[in-house]
Structure 1
């Protein structure tokens, strides 16, 4: 028997703000919240994201990041949607000849928008 990832926990200064951003990005709903955390996930609750309040600010590039793909639109259209939600472009040395976009979420955490589409 193997283990499986059930939650991905992200320390952040504003759990509500980050949960709202990632909920919109992924189409996830709020599953639980208290004054120091917000958990979001898909309806099947298979793998969730937990945003946990931490007063420490991010100071360097993350060693683990999230990759996303659009499900119902082209990559450029999804990029526009993510930027409108509060993402910003990130330069971490990836160069101009890559097939993905590197972005920051509202708290500066890196994530990538990959090319192609994922099943909804």
Structure 2
């Protein structure tokens, strides 16, 4: 048995990783990791990658397969979230989801802002003294919004 604690990132399948990374970065107040265009060009020039593995997004050369966001305070604060390109659409409920804790912000106000930006309301939940609102992001991935735990 390993006695070492492992680090991890959360990976979300996506039809358009860059658009979804932007949506989630704005939702969480996080940052989209910047693209290293010089590195991508070097990988292509050295034969480690091809032009077909890239695309231009918002005027910047990026890897087509994925985009990531991170907490503004760095990886010590929260794990990185990677959005990866997949060919199939989402068809069933997530087996794992994010719980967005909004602290002292008004949950209904936050939910209103998120639905105005493309989230879909799914249901209100309650268990004992705990309550939450379940939404789906613009690609249909479920997540919950609640006050602080």
- Normalised by the length of structure 1, the TM-score is 0.83
Greater gyration radius: 2
| Residues 73 and 117 in structure 1, CA contact (< 8 A), matched pair in contact too | no
Q: Which moved more, 1:51-60 or 1:72-81?
A: 72-81
Q: Aligned residue for 1:61?
A: 93
- 3-state secondary structure, aligned to 1:90: strand
**CA 31–45 in structure 1, closer or farther in 2 if over 3 Å, else same:** farther
The runs of 4+ residues in structure 1 deviating greater than 2 Å are none
Q: Aligned residue for 2:57?
A: none
Q: What is the aligned counterpart of 2:148 among 95, 102, 117?
A: 117
Unmatched tracts of structure 2, length 5 or more: 36-62
Q: Aligned residue for 2:134?
A: 102
Q: Distance in 1 between matches of 2:125 and 2:67?
A: 37
Aligned residues between the structures: 112
Q: Aligned residue for 1:17?
A: 19
Once superposed, what is the RMSD of the aligned Cα atoms?
A: 1.8
Matches within 5 A, 1:28-107: 28-33=30-35, 34-43=63-72, 44-46=74-76, 47-71=79-103, 73-91=105-123, 98=126, 99-107=131-139
